[in-house]
Amino acid sequence: MTRHSTASLTRAVSEHDHIRGPANALVTLLEYGDYECPYCGAAHPVVEELRKSLGDRMRFVFRNFPLTQIHPNAMIAAESAEAAGAHGKFWEMHDLLYTNQEALEPENLVEYATWINLDPKIITEALTAHEFESRIRQDFSAGIRSGVNGTPTFFINNARYDGSPDFDSMLAVIELAIEQGG
């Protein structure tokens, strides 16, 4: 069974990205995700379990890939995460969006701001002005160039992971990457 494809990241991980974990981690797991995608929602707890299990040996990177043709609230959800991120609250909003996928209307997104101690006006203004749309489109374009055609799409140390997005399958490939020195 093929777990890696020949597709690889065309844009290296940088300070532009949202990163959890140390820069010197032995392996990088990168996800192109859509907050309204049910498959991404199912993968979210798997990623959290991997992070918990691997600790400082793994860093996790998230990039936006909203599939707006099939998920009407994916873009505004991504915009709200980016707006929160501009105020140091990306991961708090990211986690809330995945645990509340059934409620991603603008009024929900504004309410979530209060849940993470963020002024709700920040989200309202970001959604009105679409100030983070360019950043999201940059992630999306980089994903397309890297062979992303659906969500979630994972990369392990720059190589696209084509296996099942379950804990055991992903852990096996990540541990192999660690053993091979990245």
Structure confidence by residue, pLDDT tens digits, 103-154: 999 999 999 999 999 999 999 999 999 999 999 999 999 999 999 999 999 9
Annotated domain spans of the chain: 4-179
- The DSSP annotation for 44-56 comes to HHHHHHHHHHHGG
Structure confidence by residue, pLDDT tens digits, 52-94: 999 999 999 999 999 999 999 999 999 999 999 999 999 999 9
Domain 4-179 CATH class label: alpha beta
